[in-house]
């Protein structure tokens, strides 16, 4: 295959066969999104911090956040930086005064959807799909499996509780059919999000008590997809309504690099070994 | 004792929720699935259960579904075969 170039801090370069595999899998996933008439969105790389604050993101996941920062423009600050040595011998930036940071690099693709739909009264269930480069600061990185930045394809549904549950049930069925048809050894398991200080966070307790997140786990523990039933959490936070009540929401997420890792592990590293996908190619 | 505990739970839940009333909240009404309680109220509910039970609740030992409805909470924390 020879198609991944590994970089520091959990970044991966894709080209050649592996990039083609990524494109093929993404086209299959977006095909499922089209079955729901999901609108494709392309969102910016950053999320405004004030929106994540409304979701208690910085209390729940402060350890995962990555902040884009810029130099303060006042009092020759940029001139001084330009005249000096930007990096030390280890490659670490010696930054002068920074401008106020008001954004976070996208931590999950679907946050943009709820922000975009703020204040809407839905007259029918709404389906949206998007793919985003997501950033999560981790203690350790493994190429393709746990990366600082990675690609996530999501299909999101907003509607009534019944509409969202129907979406999650049917999409789970499609994923199961696909995994069985290609012979991918993977099973669903209840999961919780990686909360900071979890036992003191009521949202973690809630996820333990009322499992709302299921992960499709390949092999020894690599979660390659997840279904998430948010109830009316985002609908209430962003005042999105359906039939007079706060809208419910749910999403199905695919970790693209992890699917590549699963394919390498299950079938091998050459294009010919991925022929199980042929019947599913658009 | 059992009836008092269920009544106490019902009164507490109806008091903190704007999605139900004391009269409409049955012992088998799903609490979280129907949005009667929010995720952020889990900690307060655990504290109230501890107050009623007179002992601490080990949150790591709580089983999924243990807070499904009043009946389930009663079975989980106020009977001899509790989880």
DSSP secondary structure of A158-185: EE-HHHHHHHHHHHHHHHHHHHHHHT--
> Taking the CB of residue A70, how many other CB atoms lie within 10 A of it?
13
- Test B39 with A233 for CB contact under 8 angstroms: yes
Q: Does A232 touch chain B (CB under 8 A)?
A: yes
CATH number for the domain whose boundaries are B2-77: 1.10.1200.10
Residue that has been written with the tokens 């970089």 in this structure = A7
In this structure, what are the phi and psi dihedrals at residue A225, rounded to the nearest 5 degrees? Answer: -155, 160
B59 CB neighbours in chain A (<8 A) are 199, 205, 208
Question: What are the sequence ranges of the domains in chain B?
Answer: 2-77
Distance CA(A87)–CA(B67), nearest Å, equals 54
Residue range A4-66+107-280, CATH number: 3.30.930.10
Instruction: Give, in order, the Cα–Cα distances in Å from A27 to each of A30, A210, A244.
Output: 5, 33, 36
pLDDT of residue A208: 80
pLDDT category of residue B3 using cuts at 50, 70 and 90: low
pLDDT at residue A9 is higher than 80: no
Tell me the pLDDT tens digit for each residue of A162-183. Answer: 999 999 999 999 999 999 999 9
Average pLDDT, chain A: 93
For residue A80, how many other CB atoms are within 10 A of its CB? 12
Span B49-63, average pLDDT = 88
DSSP H helical ranges for chain B: 2-16, 42-53, 70-77
A166: CB partners within 8 A, 6+ apart: none
The ipTM of this complex is: 0.74
CB contacts, 8 Å: A203 with chain B: 39-40, 42
- Domain residue spans of chain A: 4-66+107-280
CB contact under 8 A, A210 and B60: no
């Amino acid at each position: 295959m020879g198609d991944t170039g590994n970089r520091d801090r959990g970044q991966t370069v894709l080209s050649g066969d592996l990039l083609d595999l990524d494109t093929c899998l993404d086209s299959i996933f977006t095909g499922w999104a089209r079955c729901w008439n999901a609108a494709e969105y392309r969102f910016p790389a950053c999320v405004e911090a004030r929106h994540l604050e409304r979701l208690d993101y910085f209390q729940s996941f402060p350890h995962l956040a990555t902040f884009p920062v810029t130099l303060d423009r006042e009092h020759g600050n940029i001139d001084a930086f330009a005249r000096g040595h930007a990096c030390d011998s280890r490659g670490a930036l010696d930054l002068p005064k920074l401008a106020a940071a008001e954004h976070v690099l996208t931590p999950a693709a679907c946050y943009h959807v709820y922000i975009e739909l703020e204040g809407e009264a839905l007259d029918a269930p709404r389906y949206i799909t998007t793919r985003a480069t997501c950033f999560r600061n981790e203690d350790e990185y493994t190429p393709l499996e746990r990366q600082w930045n990675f690609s996530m394809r999501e299909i999101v549904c907003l509607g009534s509780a019944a509409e969202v549950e129907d979406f999650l049930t049917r999409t789970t069925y499609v994923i199961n059919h696909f995994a069985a048809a290609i012979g991918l050894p993977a099973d669903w398991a209840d999961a919780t999000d990686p909360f900071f200080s979890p036992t003191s966070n009521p949202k973690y307790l809630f996820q333990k008590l009322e499992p709302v997140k299921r992960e499709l786990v390949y092999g020894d523990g690599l979660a390659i997809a997840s279904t998430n039933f948010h109830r009316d959490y985002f609908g209430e936070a962003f005042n999105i309504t359906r039939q007079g009540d706060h809208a419910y929401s749910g999403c199905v997420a695919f970790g693209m690099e992890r699917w590549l890792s699963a394919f390498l592990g299950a079938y091998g590293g050459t294009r010919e070994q991925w022929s199980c996908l042929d019947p599913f190619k658009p | 004792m059992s009836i008092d505990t269920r009544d106490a739970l019902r009164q507490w839940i109806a008091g903190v929720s704007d999605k139900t009333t004391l009269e409409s909240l049955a012992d088998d009404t799903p609490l979280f699935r129907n949005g009667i309680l929010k995720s952020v109220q889990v900690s307060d509910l655990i504290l109230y259960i501890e107050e009623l039970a007179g002992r601490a609740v080990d949150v790591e030992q709580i089983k999924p579904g243990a807070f499904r409805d009043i009946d389930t909470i009663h079975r989980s924390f106020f009977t001899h075969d509790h989880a």
